[in-house]
A and B are shown apart, each in its own frame.
Chain A
Amino acid sequence: MILVWSERPDLLAELLGEARRLAVQTGTTVGAVSFNHVGDDELASLAASGADSVYVVEGSDASPDSLVGGLVATTEQMHPHVVLIGATKLGLDVAPRVVERTAAGYGAWAVSCELDEDAGEVSATCMIYAGAGLATYRFAAVPTVLTCAPGTFSAKQAAGRSATCQTLELPDLVSPTTVVERRPKVLDSDRLTTTKTVVDVGQGVRDERGIETCRALAVTLEAQLGCSRPIATTREWFAEWLGLSGAKIKPELCLTVGISGAIQHMIGIRNARVIAAINNDENAAIFLQADVGVVADLYEFLPVLIERMEARDVHPA
């Protein structure tokens, strides 16, 4: 069996798509884990995405501790060969702890997986050095837990499939951590994954004046603004970021402004059809990873670029 879990429904569907592909290839089954009530519509949708069975874990308080407990309990009852977990922050918190408790093998940032259930062999290719390389591993421990980033696999819907639903009672579990307060972030990463053009803001943009100029460029280019993780975590301009740990986009054009080209960030934009770069450092790694570039101070260059774009009446292709 291949067991699949993510707290994000879109990512869960992607992982189910890959699990179904493996299951068809090897003749095994696919189980999805849910920590919430699963209604008829959702069961049908999970079945269409690729699940043969859905295990609903009851009694969870949504803390990482109870998610770990629920996934360990499900793994111990179902004996999967492979457990696929979405590589969100929560997934990357939970997965290694499940691994430690079930004596599983672990591959982080998996991009592909092969399973020979009869031989009990699992191999997987994983991103290493934050995405600079790929390594293929053979795992001797059972099960093998793999975390997979959003956008690695495609969700596929097949009509006419059905899934069984089974409830698992979670053993009583009191989290040692007390939640005092939650302050939600306003998130809108859909705008980044659905747009054709992205202006990608990096640490070269230092202040309000810089971000205002980037906003003006985005208006001219009918683009959405994205950013690197340091920008998202240290400034209050954006809640979401592009990169290995953030959103991964495939726009027609990604125009980076003050982006250095760190690999963790490039993972998020490297599937753009055209990458353009503006950076004042001629030796910045971004220029080796871009199709088109200008070495210039963005504070001086962007206003001129906007003016020339408007004068020449150019638009996104």
Chain B
Amino acid sequence: MNTLALVKYSLDVAEIRVDASARALRLRGVPERFGDTDKMVVEAAVRVKEESGGTVRLICFGPSEARAAAKDLLAMGADEATIIEDPFSGSLDPALVVRIIERAIHEYPQFDLIVAGFASDDGYSHQTAGRIAERLSLPFVSYVREVSVDDDGVTMVRDLEDCLETVRVGTPAVISIAEESLEPRRVTLLQAMKAQKIPITFWSLEDLALDAEEIDSARTTHEIERRAVVVQRRQQVLKRGSLAELADGFIDLLLEEEALK
């Protein structure tokens, strides 16, 4: 079964700091990476390949700096990777991002399964996988925890709020991988070295017969203002002392805060 794995080079949101006086988010210097969800996406795709043969191709819309990190994902057992260079530096409306990814998918029509994350680590808006499925008119199965393939299709366990649901779907299909679902494998040194030799395909929008200006002018969502959520907490932290002293100090502070009586 041939799989396209959609991954996103995302901001590490845990590293976003807030400038409280300006109520602004400090994004400069925040590291970018493929997140935990992306690794689970690759893990799922590689497991499908191990079960049924075929290939795994990673597709990423992002900066060319994603190259080195893409090699780490390839080392998990993927075969090929395509990075579509983002001339908008991550600012593009997700509605337009899915159109670009859709165009890239059309370049690889020999797929059986498209695997994406339930949400990206930074945008967290849960929309790319479902929108891609709609644009391609393919079945969509969300929040997948387990996946296994056979001759007739794919069986999956979906992690929903009130139940775990086992479903079957034929191929081709689009699936999204649930949070904390598939533990990504560790990569051996040999695998890492082999991955270094796999060339990564870089595409510009022009290569996909897309026009950056035209895409830019197709935006229908306009950001008017953005601000940080400023947390105002008292941050009284006890660090030193015996366990009993720390415990008494902690209780004293909770009494002062009137959280205890």
Residues of A at the B interface (CB closer than 8 Å) are 64-65, 88-90, 92-93, 95-97, 99-101, 105-109, 123, 127-141, 176-185, 187, 229-230, 233-234, 244-245, 252-253, 260, 262-264, 266, 270, 273-277, 282, 285, 287-296, 300-301, 304-305, 307-309, 312, 314-317
- B246 CB → nearest A CB, Å: 5
Complexed CA–CA distance, A273 and B180 (Å): 30
CB-defined contacts of A290 to chain B, threshold 8 Å: 233, 235, 237
Total A-B pairs, Cβ < 8 A: 260
8 A–B pairs (Cβ distance < 8 Å), ordered by A? A90-B161, A100-B131, A105-B95, A130-B13, A177-B169, A273-B259, A291-B257, A309-B251
A-contact bits for B106-133, CB 8 A (1 contact / 0 none):
0000000000000101111111001101
Interface positions of B from 1 to 33, Cβ below 8 Å from A:
11, 13-14, 16, 18, 25
How many residues of B sit at the interface, in one of the four size bands?
Answer: 35 or more
Instruction: Determine chain B's interface SS by DSSP, over half rule.
Output: mixed
Q: B248 to chain A: which residues have CB within 8 Å?
A: 308, 312
A127 to B131, CA, bound (A): 20
Partner of A108, one of B125, B160, B220: B125
A97 adjacent to B130 (CB under 8 Å) = yes
The chain B residues found within 8 Å of chain A, CB to CB, are 11, 13-14, 16, 18, 25, 94-95, 98, 119, 121-127, 130-131, 133-135, 139-143, 155, 159-170, 173, 178-181, 220-229, 231, 233-239, 243-244, 246-251, 253-255, 257-261
- Choice from A64, A140, A289, A314 contacting B233 with Cβ under 8 Å: A289
**Cross-interface CB contact of B254 among A127, A135, A177, A274, cutoff 8 Å:** A274
A residues within 8 A CB of B260?
Answer: 253, 314-317
Tell me how far the C-beta of A133 lies from the nearest C-beta in chain B, rounded to whole angstroms.
Answer: 5
A92 to B123, CA, bound (A): 13
Is B170 touching A176 in the complex (CB atoms < 8 A)? yes
Question: Which of chain A's residues have a CB closer than 8 A to the CB of B179?
Answer: 229-230, 233, 245
Most central of B98, B130, B181, B239 by chain A CB within 10 Å: B130
CB pair B130–A96 under 8 Å, yes or no, is: yes
* Contact of B221 with A107 in the complex, beta carbons under 8 Å: yes
Q: How far is the CB of B256 from chain A (nearest CB, A)?
A: 9
